[in-house]
Amino acid sequence: MKSDNLKAVLFDLDGTLVDTADEFVVVVQQLRAEHGMAAMDPLRIRASVSNGARALVCLGLGLDPNDAIFESKRLRLLELYSEVLGSEAKPYPGISLLLAELAKRNISWGVATNKPRAYAEPLMARIDLPPCPSLVCPDDVKDRKPHPESLYRNCRDLGCAPHEAIYVGDHLRDIEAGKRAGMFTIAAAYGYIEADDEPSSWGADALISDSKNLAELIFNL
């Protein structure tokens, strides 16, 4: 991938483009409080945000997905999240400047996320970023990441070929999706990484540990 041939930069949402962890920390702690449980280490919650609501219920309440009450607790977590959605979320440092530079260079951008549109769309509307030209959620596709369908949808929206795009994500499934789509992939090691995970093992084309350096990496390929 040469930056001269770059037509679009695509991002995962939570843990890559936007830091939403503080909201999920509040939600998980409240869910635990409702069950008479003490607050847990916020860093453990942050590390699990990219794994979704089911994983946060497992972590926060120590439940198994097969437990009879699991689904009701998942719905309760989502209800609590709806109440705080967008209140603490913010773009990662350097993201706003990166998007501004992309606009100057006539390079499009988009988001491919496993976050349902009911939460992703209002989140994007409430944070301090320009309107997203292509937001693809699991509601929009048959197969979610690590299947590359979401990224193909972004490319159709933005009028580019997959090999003309970069995908940035903070989870192995993001890198797998990007590679299957034929994109240059960047592992966002600054995102929500579990203690036993190692982004350098994901097979990404590049790795970035500080979001403020993402623009420099992209424009110097």
Question: Could you tell me the two tokens for 148?
Answer: 């590359």
Which helix (H) or strand (E) covers residue 154, if one does?
Answer: helix 149-158
Asked whether the CA dihedral 34, 39, 41, 42 is positive or negative, the reply is: positive
Choice among 4, 12, 22, 41 that is catalytic: 12
For 13-40, how does the pLDDT look when each residue is reduced to its tens digit (9 = 90+)?
999 999 999 999 999 999 999 999 999 9
Beta pairing partners, 184: 166
Whether residue 195 is predicted with pLDDT greater than 90 in this model: the reply is: no
Q: What are the residue ranges spanned by the domains of the chain?
A: 3-19+89-219, 21-84
Categorize the per-residue pLDDT at 165 as very low, low, confident or very high, splitting at 50, 70 and 90: very high
Beta pairing partners, 91: 18
Categorize the per-residue pLDDT at 8 as very low, low, confident or very high, splitting at 50, 70 and 90: very high
State which amino acid sits at residue 150. S
For 106-139, how does the pLDDT look when each residue is reduced to its tens digit (9 = 90+)?
999 999 999 999 999 999 999 999 999 999 999 9
Interatomic CA distance for residues 66 and 91, integer angstroms:
35
Is residue 14 annotated as a catalytic residue, yes or no? Answer: yes
Is residue 157 annotated as a catalytic residue, yes or no? Answer: no
Choice among 14, 19, 170, 174 that is catalytic: 14
220, 3 Cβ separation under 8 angstroms? yes
Whether residue 178 is predicted with pLDDT greater than 90 in this model: the reply is: yes
Residue 206: its pLDDT value, please?
98
Which residue has tokens 């988001």? 111
For 52-110, how does the pLDDT look when each residue is reduced to its tens digit (9 = 90+)?
899 999 999 999 999 999 999 999 999 999 999 999 999 999 999 999 999 999 999 99
The CATH code for residues 3-19+89-219 is: 3.40.50.1000
Q: For the whole model, what pTM was predicted?
A: 0.93
